[in-house]
Structures are given as C-alpha cells and as structure tokens.
A and B are shown apart, each in its own frame.
Chain A
Amino acid sequence: MAKVVFKVGDDVSTDIIYPGRFMATVLPTETPQYAFVDYPEFNAKIKKNEFPKGSIIVAGKNFGCGSSREQAASCLKGPDFVVVARNFSRIFMQNAINLGLKMVICPTIEANEGDELEITAEQVVNQTSGKSFPLIPMPKARQAIIDAGGLIPFTRKLLLEAKGKG
C-alpha cells in the first residue's frame, strides 16, 4: 500500500513534467531536481527526498504527451514514483518501461492526494474511499523488457547471447 502524493489532470505534457529549459541536463541522477519544477511545492519535497519509494502520482488521460525527452521518465524514476494514470502517451510509456519506471494503466481511477492505494495484478483499490478500479496490463510486446528490469539489461543480454552463439 502506498500514498498518493500528487494528483494531476488530463494531457499532462512532458513540458510540465520536465520543462524544455532543463533539457541540457541528461543524467538520470541529476534530472529529479527538475521534476514538476513549475509546481514548486511538490518539487521542493522531491528535492528534499520527502517521499518514500513507491509513492504514487495519480494522473488523468494521456499522461506524458508531447516530447520524446527521456528526462520526463528518468526524473520520476529517480525518486521511484509509481504513476497511476487513466492512460499514457506512447513515447512516455516506452521510455518509462525502458527505464524501469513503474506505471499502472487504470482507465477509471478516482483518487485524491493523501489517499492510500493498494495495487494488485488486476485492480487498484483505494483504501481511503473503499472503491476499486480495474487496471489494464502493460502491452504484452514489452513484457520481456519490463521483466528484465529495463531495456539496458535486456539489450545487454541479447548482445551477450549473440556473442555466445558467435
């Protein structure tokens, strides 16, 4: 079980998650300082490491739309957030899978900041409101990458297997 620490609406773009003006910063170890930087209160708490790992961001539909910038996923992976959204934009979703950021697609989710959510394989249970919401599994095509912990270990494994065969 984990707490909802931040709630946003529909169509939250990568310009909101990680504004373009910080794009020269690329290292995943450095990007979290600019996560949601235009929401100073939330950003300040991220910088102070106030959130336990697995804390939840709840979003509406089309989370992560816009730019392909990977910083938008790496800045949320750093503090190990879980993003529960009604759905995700394609490139953001792939970046998140590739970096091992946890996402939950939950088309009907209703939750507020402070609510406690329990996430199972089939549903999200809002322990605070007592309601549960079914979730949609991640695209099956990407399951092997998720299982490997991200695209870097997955690709490394492929290269080493090819070398073994060679």
Chain B
Amino acid sequence: MGMTMVEKILAGASGQSAVKAGDVVEPKVDLAMSHENGALVINQFNEIYKDTGLEAKVWDPSRIAIIFDHRVPAESSKTAGNQKKIRDFVARQGITKFHDIRGDGGGICHQILPEFGYVRPGKVVVGTDSHTTSHGALGAFSFGIGATEMAAVWALGKVLNVEVPGTIKVVCEGKFKRHVAPKDLILHLVGKLSAEGANFKVIEFHGPAIESMSTSGRLVICNMTVEAGATSGIVPPDSETLRYLKEEAGVTEVPGLFGPDADAVYDQVITINVSKLQPQIACPHTVDNVKPIKAVLGVRINQIVIGSCTNGRLDDLAIAAKILKGRKVAKGTRMLIFPASTRIYLQALKKGYVATFMEAGAVVMNSGCGPCLGVHQGALADGDVALATTNRNFKGRMGNPNAEVYLCSPAVAAASAITGVITDPRKKGE
C-alpha cells in the first residue's frame, strides 16, 4: 500500500519502512522552534529535570530555533523579562539558531525559518506556534505543539506518541485570475472544509496551480491550513523548492526530494479550479465564515493591516505598492504595514515600496506579529472594523472583543485602503 507525504516522512523519522494513518510513532525532530513562549518552555523543561539529579541539557542545541517576534521590541517589562530569560538560556545551552530583536536577521518565525534555510524537504519540524503548519510549503512535516510538549522535545529529541494523521488531498486546477491570490484559495478551502473539517488531518496540495505557485504563495496556503483544524499542510517539494532553497535561502547542498506514492491512500480528495475563484473574505468572527467579495463590498473599514506570517512577504508588499502608488489612504481609515522579516523590509525599502506606502499615508511598522493577535500595537477601539491580510478574525483577536476583523488578500487590502470600504481590486483598473 502506498504512502502519503506525511506517512513517508514519519516512517523515515521513526526508523520504520512503512507507517499508515492511525499508527502511533515517535518521530525524531529535525527542528524545534519557539518564540517568546520559549520562556514557558524553559519553565516546563526545568520542571522535568527537577529533583532527578540529571543535568538539564537540551538534546541538540543546533536543532533548536528561537525567534523573538510576538512582542518586539518588548512592550512591557514583563515581556522584556521573558526575553531576557530566553537570552540567558540560549547562551547557557549554546543554541545557535537564535534571532534576537535586530534590524538584520530579525522577523517573524515563520518567515525566518524558510529564509535562513532552516527548513528542508522531508524533515520533521515542530513549533510552539499553531502556524508552524507554514513550513509544509517546503515539503517538511511541520506542526504546532504546546510549550510542555516542546519541553519534552528539548529533553528527548523526539515527539512522543504521535498518531500518524490521515491526509486530505487537495488538487488545484487552473490558473489564478488577475488580483486573485493563494490567500483567496486558502480562504475558500477553509470555508469549504469548516474550522474543524481537517482536525487531526494533513492537507496535501497538488495540481498545476500549486506547481506554478512560488514558495511564498505555498507558505500562505500551508500557513492557514490550521484554520481548518489541520495538523499541517504540505506541498510535495519540486524544482521551485530547490530554487527557493538555493536562491533565497542560500542553501548550498541539494536535498533529496520525494513525493507521495501514486497509490497513496487519502481520506478525501477535493478538487478546486482556481480559474473560477473570486477574491474571498473571511467575515467576523470565524475564519470559516468565508464569502466571495461581492457579498461584503462597501463595508466601512477603520483599520487596514498588511503583514504577518501569512501575507507580509515581498510579493505581498509589491502588489500593495502597485495598487497604492500615487494614491492616498482614505480619510478616516488607518493603514498599518508590517513586513514579515527585516530582510523583506530592506528589500521593500530598496524597491521603493516603503516610500510608496508612507506617501500614501500608511504606517510602516517593524517586523513582528503584534497587531495580528492584539498583543503589541494596532489595537482596535470598540466598534472598529479591521480588514487584514492576517490569518485569524476570532472575537478579541486584534485586542478588542467589541471590534470586528475581516480577512483578505493583499490586493483587496490595498484597494480597500484607498476607498475606506471593502473594495474589489479587479475594479480599480490596476
């Protein structure tokens, strides 16, 4: 019987010739990522070793990555204290993949990992962040775990008692129309599956629309698979993966690539023709409350946000800059833009995007997660409505349970910034 991508990866990582969905395995971890919640992981890690007489040493400091991104620079002395605690731990344990608050080499974890070549096809990646699903874009099995789970990984180098997930195969036919993007595809899919439709499952992406998609776009779709409850999203690695690793991540060695077996067994197969997709909007207060843009045109927006681990990459900023060039953000609407990493920020600066944004009236912020989850800047007032390229619109998400968040692509966000209401970018004559 053939194996899916994830079955193959888990078989390899647990030293078996074959596994199937439902088997219980203990895969070795190739990369273990945390951000500021590393402070909690450290607590739990020390707790494991308490009164054992054993030295609390991580299993492999070269396989742990810690990236400060949620509250950068620190918004409170409490956060600063957590960050300091992590810095001390990193130094003591000799952790090398550490990204502190810096203008060179800082950014959001889910951009830093691919950008620095930390993620490779066929590997097992875990992260104390639910959007760790992102890294399936490079053909890794990458999933979110909690802090205590991570503490056990730091101690043992493997994840205990993992049930091999079943896989939903999503075949994407056709070609994206102008101003329709990978974000619209994943919003459409989450709406179709519902917020729990892929719970405990992996979504494996196939088809010509995926093959012709950049790694940047693949990161968008894998990132948001968790919004359908998925353990992970994954794209079989191909020539684009190799191009990305070599040209954008500076990886010199060429990894071996493999895809699923032709006779792999899937729980479900879904086919989507992306040629027929319109821009999609996730409406308050759940990510699966997805409607085609025509259903919500004209909704008044107080704050537009472009950025995050979902849509803060250079191609996202490029489309926004193209739409905003020579235009102004509408009176009564605020626009916040936060690039996904400092490298992207610098590239956007050199390409003139940052100047375009500022001249239009947008505020360009430093790279980080803050506004997306309402922990650091960009909080909403009671009654405010936001339109964002981020990944979640739960009640309270942007820091206020009495506000509303709509989710969209960068093109929709930029076109709507000019008018101050939800606007179809295809009608702007761009």
Q: Which residues of A contact B (CB under 8 A)?
A: 11, 13, 15-16, 19-21, 23-27, 38, 61-62, 65-70, 73, 87, 89-91, 94-95, 98-99, 139-142, 144-145, 150-152, 154-156, 158-160, 163
- Does B366 count as interface, using CB distance less than 8 angstroms? no
Known: A15-B394, A27-B43, A141-B162. 20 other contacts (CB 8 A): A11-B288, A13-B394, A16-B394, A19-B396, A21-B375, A21-B399, A23-B36, A24-B71, A62-B196, A68-B128, A70-B40, A90-B200, A91-B130, A95-B148, A145-B161, A152-B148, A155-B156, A156-B48, A156-B50, A159-B156
Q: How far is the CA of A70 from the CA of B42 in the complex (A)?
A: 13
Q: How far is the CA of A91 from the CA of B200 in the complex (A)?
A: 9
Contact A38 B395 (CB under 8 A): yes
Contact A24 B145 (CB under 8 A): no
Q: Per-position contact with A for B3-47: 1 when CB-CB < 8 Å, else 0?
A: 000000000000000000000100000000000110110011001
- Does B174 count as interface, using CB distance less than 8 angstroms? no
Closest-by-CB residue of A relative to B76 is: A24
Q: Per-position contact with A for B246-264: 1 when CB-CB < 8 Å, else 0?
A: 0000000000000000000
Please, which residues of chain B bring their CB within 8 A of the CB of A156? 48-50, 52
Q: How far is the CA of A107 from the CA of B50 in the complex (A)?
A: 39
Q: How far is the CA of A140 from the CA of B152 in the complex (A)?
A: 19
Q: How far is the CA of A95 from the CA of B40 in the complex (A)?
A: 13
Given contacts A141-B163, A152-B44, contact A16 B395 (CB under 8 A): yes
Tell which of B79, B82, B151, B199 touches A90, judged by Cβ atoms closer than 8 Å.
Answer: B199
B386 to chain A, nearest CB (A): 14
- Provide 19 A-B residue pairs closer than 8 Å at the C-beta atoms, listed in order of the A residue: A15-B373, A20-B399, A24-B79, A26-B40, A38-B396, A62-B199, A66-B394, A68-B129, A70-B37, A89-B196, A89-B199, A90-B229, A91-B130, A91-B144, A99-B148, A145-B161, A151-B151, A151-B160, A156-B52
- Does B91 count as interface, using CB distance less than 8 angstroms? no
A155 to chain B, nearest CB (A): 4
- Does B103 count as interface, using CB distance less than 8 angstroms? no
B161 to chain A, nearest CB (A): 4
Contact A98 B148 (CB under 8 A): yes
Contact B146 A73 (CB under 8 A): yes
- Does B293 count as interface, using CB distance less than 8 angstroms? no
Please, which residues of chain B bring their CB within 8 A of the CB of A69? 37, 146
B77 to chain A, nearest CB (A): 10
- Does B195 count as interface, using CB distance less than 8 angstroms? yes
- Does B397 count as interface, using CB distance less than 8 angstroms? yes
**Most chain B beta carbons < 10 A, residue from A21, A68, A95:** A68
Closest-by-CB residue of B relative to A98 is: B148
Given contacts A24-B82, A67-B373, contact A155 B146 (CB under 8 A): no
Q: How far is the CA of A89 from the CA of B156 in the complex (A)?
A: 25
Contact B146 A68 (CB under 8 A): yes
- Does B374 count as interface, using CB distance less than 8 angstroms? yes
Please, which residues of chain A bring their CB within 8 A of the CB of B298? none
Please, which residues of chain B bring their CB within 8 A of the CB of A27? 43
Q: How far is the CA of A24 from the CA of B80 in the complex (A)?
A: 10
Please, which residues of chain A bring their CB within 8 A of the CB of B76? 24
Closest-by-CB residue of B relative to A142 is: B161
Contact B151 A155 (CB under 8 A): yes
Tell which of B47, B71, B145 touches A94, judged by Cβ atoms closer than 8 Å.
Answer: B145
